[in-house]
Chain A
Amino acid sequence: MSGHVAPKTMYYFVFAALIVGTGLTVLVAFFDLGVFNNILMLSIACAKALLVILFFMHVRWSSRLTWLVVASGFFWLIILFGITMTDYLTRGMVPGTPR
Chain B
Amino acid sequence: MSDAPPRYHPPPVAIHPEGHAPTPHHPWLQHHFDSMEQQAEASTLGMWVFLVTEIMFFGGLFMAYLVYRHQSPMGFQEASHHLNIYWGAANTAILIVSSLTMALAVRAAQTSQPAKVQVRWLLATIFFGLCFLGIKAIEYTDKFRDHIVPGAHFQWEGLYPKPAEQFYSLYFAMTGLHALHMIIGIGIMAVIAFLASRKTFDSDYYTPVEVAGLYWHFVDIVWIYLFPLLYLIGRHYTPGGH
Main secondary structure of the interface of A (DSSP, over half): helix
Q: State the B residues within 8 Å of A (CB).
A: 1, 35-37, 40-41, 44-45, 48-49, 51-52, 55-56, 59-60, 62-63, 66-67, 70-71, 85, 89, 92-93, 96-97, 99-100, 102-104, 107, 110-111, 203-205, 210, 213-214, 217-218, 220-221, 224-225, 227-229, 232-233, 235-236, 242
The contact of B37 among A1, A14, A31, A65, by CB within 8 Å, is A1
Given contacts A22-B89, A81-B66, contact A57 B217 (CB under 8 A): yes
**In the complex, are the beta carbons of B52 and A70 less than 8 A apart?**
yes
Which residues on A sit within 8 Å (CB–CB) of B102? 56
For residue A41, give the distance in angstroms from its CB to the closest CB of chain B. Answer: 4
Given contacts A11-B103, A18-B96, A80-B59, contact A25 B217 (CB under 8 A): no
Q: Binary interface profile of A, 2-42, with partner B (CB < 8 Å = 1, else 0)? A: 11011110011011001100100110011110000110011
**In the complex, are the beta carbons of A48 and B51 less than 8 A apart?**
no
Report the separation of the CA atoms of residues A84 and B65 in the bound assembly, to the nearest whole angstrom. 12
**In the complex, are the beta carbons of A2 and B203 less than 8 A apart?**
yes
Lowest 10 A-B CB distances belong to which pairs? A73-B52, A29-B232, A1-B36, A29-B235, A32-B236, A41-B228, A2-B203, A15-B100, A73-B55, A18-B96
For residue A10, give the distance in angstroms from its CB to the closest CB of chain B. Answer: 9
Can you name 27 A-B pairs with beta carbons within 8 Å? A1-B36, A1-B37, A11-B100, A18-B96, A19-B96, A22-B92, A25-B232, A29-B236, A31-B236, A32-B242, A41-B233, A45-B224, A45-B227, A52-B217, A53-B217, A56-B102, A56-B220, A57-B214, A62-B44, A63-B41, A66-B44, A69-B49, A74-B55, A76-B59, A77-B55, A80-B63, A85-B70
Report the separation of the CA atoms of residues A39 and B100 in the bound assembly, to the nearest whole angstrom. 27
**In the complex, are the beta carbons of B228 and A45 less than 8 A apart?**
yes
Which residues on B sit within 8 Å (CB–CB) of A94? none
For residue A92, give the distance in angstroms from its CB to the closest CB of chain B. Answer: 12
**In the complex, are the beta carbons of A65 and B104 less than 8 A apart?**
no
